[in-house]
């Protein structure tokens, strides 16, 4: 059993201020439980996780693991053997040059015999299907493979408790599904030959459905603690603190507002469709649009601008060219982006998405081919000395997938102000730009401006990184996985920001593994696979046929999956519905008043 007794934890922000991350927490976790831990950004989830294996020690109160006190130096080694932890970004815990050595490292530190180490490494490689990768560098694997190696390395040490800190947030849909199945099998099939207690921190409400118990944190306190039905029946309360709920529950909640009651509890899409079918006597053959939910849209089209702000001509890029480990990341990619476009770039992990966009503001240069940005040519032939980098990066702003890579100043204010200072804006304008940019990403200026970026949660860091790019007011904004690790409120902030910028005719490029987000926001979609351009077309055309998405490691948007199943069940609903709001409106048009 793990027990927290009246536990509080404070981070020291500077010599004069403290941040209360956990506030008088009392909890008990029993052996063999599967616990999902959810909560908005900054709610204390990761802090709680790190208290469980003595990476952090409580500022107040006690944490006991099987009766061992985490504060005790003598107990800490034993506690860290009992509690294994897999972090959000596996690169942060890799230290070895091969997968085999990475798995063996922890075992060597346990001073196990050579024979025992060999046996456990063999078990891990076999159990997690890593035999073919055992000689590979873990740093050069795909995201899903990296997380499997991290998990295998921890489980080879035979922990009793396993803590997973948002392990799927950086994975593509296929990788996320495979990892979650693996974790479920670990729990249900006892691959370790003993019952494993799992703590799964996640921002995906659907992932929390697998857990027996769901713990919700908010502002360092326990907000809810119970089973699936108990927690996700509190939809309004969860939304108020910035959390999402599974799609099916959200649709049920909205339909319930209009008096549509369901006889059975619904946990998945199939259950929702079955319940809607059972209400068929309440559906009208004539589609009646409720006045309050008129679905009429303006037919007035904005005057289109066909200026090609970005062009790629036969772009290829090779990492470590002419070295044994060389890798072709992009292969003969050609496309054109018009001013005011909103492009969503999707594809499996390692398909070349991030490599591609780093060519658009000259962070990388083509091995072959050419990129033209607003008439500025970027190619190997023209070399760097011919490029006005200051002008180029005022045109194209890029927010990286990992925000910590672009945060380096002592305060949030200085970090966001760095770009405007370097384009010589006057001090008064710089302060206004910083305020406006923080406001756009949903961060309060007074609360965050003078904090260290390194004291923020991962979600808050991501927002600051985006604000730093917005402060330059670029013509083209590229966001690489901007919602990764964000709670519902953070995601809605980013959505609203992108919608606002799109309405101002900014050119937007969104890279995301969140296919629902791309389907909702983007106007055009680009699909990359193994560095090649598979498809580049309008969103409506891309989603006409969903059968091939699985081949590229992708899943259909949840809304479209539901729409397809409703169509099969006899509901006359058009396919071009990409948001839950439009789907709910459409369902309501079938209902008798």
pLDDT tens digit string along 461-510? Answer: 888 999 999 999 999 999 998 888 788 888 888 888 899 899 988 999 99
Burial of 45-75, coded b for 16+ CB within 10 Å and e otherwise, reads: bbbbbbbbbbbbebeebebbbeebbbeeeeb
Question: For residue 293, what are the CA distances in angstroms to 154, 270, 279?
Answer: 52, 26, 21
pLDDT tens digit string along 375-415? Answer: 888 887 656 667 888 888 889 999 887 777 789 999 999 99
Nearest 5°: the CA angle 108, 110, 114 is 45
The number of beta carbons lying within 10 Å of the beta carbon of residue 42 is 22
Contact yes or no for 487/530 (Cβ under 8 A): no
pTM: 0.80
Of 354, 476, 470, 459, nearest to 418 by C-alpha is 470
**DSSP letters spanning 65-125:** ETTEETT-HHHHHHHHHHEEEE-SSGGGG--SSSHHHHHHHHHHHTT--HHHHHHHHHHHH
Output DSSP code: residue 487.
Answer: -
Largest CA distance in the chain: 75
Nearest 5°: the CA angle 24, 25, 28 is 150
Q: What is the pLDDT of residue 381?
A: 61
Contact yes or no for 438/445 (Cβ under 8 A): yes
Q: Which two tokens stand for residue 437?
A: 């940019």
Output DSSP code: residue 302.
Answer: P
Kindly state the helix (H) or strand (E) to which residue 379 belongs, with its residue range: strand 376-379
Q: What is the pLDDT of residue 256?
A: 81
C-alpha span between 128 and 99 (Å, rounded):
12
Residues in the chain: 593
Question: CATH topology for 2-245?
Answer: Rossmann fold (3.40.50)
Domain with CATH 3.40.50.300 in the chain: 2-245, 308-406+473-556
Question: CATH topology for 308-406+473-556?
Answer: Rossmann fold (3.40.50)
What's the mean pLDDT in 31-52?
92
The model's confidence at residue 589, banded by pLDDT at 50, 70 and 90, is confident
pLDDT: is 277 or 183 the higher one? Answer: 183
């Amino acid at each position: 059993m793990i027990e927290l007794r009246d536990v509080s934890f404070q981070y020291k922000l500077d010599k004069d201020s403290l941040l209360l991350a956990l506030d008088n927490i009392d909890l008990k976790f029993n052996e063999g439980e599967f616990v999902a831990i959810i909560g908005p950004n900054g709610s204390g989830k990761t802090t709680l996780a790190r208290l469980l294996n003595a990476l952090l020690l409580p500022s107040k109160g006690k944490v006991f693991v099987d009766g061992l006190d985490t504060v005790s130096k003598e107990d800490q080694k034993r506690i860290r053997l009992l509690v294994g932890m897999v972090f959000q970004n596996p690169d942060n815990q890799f230290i070895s040059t091969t997968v085999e050595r990475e798995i063996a490292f922890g075992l060597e530190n346990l001073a196990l015999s050579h024979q025992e180490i060999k046996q456990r490494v063999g078990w891990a490689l076999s159990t997690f299907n890593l035999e073919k990768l055992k000689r590979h560098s873990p740093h050069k694997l795909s995201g899903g493979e990296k997380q499997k190696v991290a998990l295998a390395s921890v489980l080879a040490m035979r922990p009793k408790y396993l803590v997973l800190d948002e392990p799927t947030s950086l994975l593509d849909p296929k990788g996320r599904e495979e990892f979650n199945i693996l974790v479920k099998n670990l729990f249900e099939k006892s691959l370790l030959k003993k019952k494993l207690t799992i703590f799964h921190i996640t921002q995906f409400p659907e992932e929390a459905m697998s857990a027996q118990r769901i713990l919700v944190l908010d502002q360092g306190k326990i907000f809810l603690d119970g089973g699936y039905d108990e927690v996700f029946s509190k939809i309004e309360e969860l939304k108020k603190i910035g959390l999402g709920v599974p799609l099916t529950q959200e649709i049920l909640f909205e339909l319930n507002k209009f008096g549509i009651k369901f006889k059975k509890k619904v946990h998945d899409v199939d259950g929702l469709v079955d319940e809607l079918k059972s209400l068929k006597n309440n559906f009208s053959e004539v589609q009646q649009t409720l006045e309050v939910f008129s679905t009429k849209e303006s037919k007035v089209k904005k005057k289109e601008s066909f200026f090609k702000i970005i062009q790629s001509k036969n772009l290829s890029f090779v990492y470590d060219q002419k070295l044994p480990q060389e890798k072709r990341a992009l292969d003969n990619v050609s496309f054109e982006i018009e001013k005011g476009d909103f492009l969503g770039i999707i594809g499996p992990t390692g398909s070349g998405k991030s490599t591609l966009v780093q060519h658009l503001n000259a962070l990388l240069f083509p091995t072959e081919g050419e990129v033209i940005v607003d008439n500025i040519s970027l190619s190997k032939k023209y070399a760097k000395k011919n490029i006005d980098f200051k002008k180029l990066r005022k045109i194209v702003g890029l927010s990286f997938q990992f925000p910590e890579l672009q945060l380096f100043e002592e305060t949030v204010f200085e970090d966001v102000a760095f770009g405007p200072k370097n384009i010589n804006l006057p001090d008064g304008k710089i302060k206004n730009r910083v305020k406006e940019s923080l406001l756009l990403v949903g961060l309060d200026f007074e609360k965050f401006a003078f904090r260290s970026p390194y004291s923020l949660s991962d979600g808050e860091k991501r927002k600051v990184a985006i604000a730093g790019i917005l402060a330059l007011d670029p013509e083209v904004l590229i966001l690489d996985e901007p919602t990764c690790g964000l709670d519902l409120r953070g995601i809605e902030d980013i959505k609203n920001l992108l919608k606002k910028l799109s309405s101002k005719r900014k050119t937007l490029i969104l890279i995301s593994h969140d296919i629902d987000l791309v389907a909702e926001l983007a106007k055009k979609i680009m699909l990359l696979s193994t560095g090649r351009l598979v498809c580049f077309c309008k969103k409506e055309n891309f989603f006409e046929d969903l059968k091939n998405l699985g081949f590229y490691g992708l899943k259909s948007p949840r809304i479209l999956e539901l729409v397809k199943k409703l169509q099969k069940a006899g509901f006359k609903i058009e396919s071009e519905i990409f948001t839950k709001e439009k789907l709910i409106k459409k369902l309501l048009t079938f209902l008798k008043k």
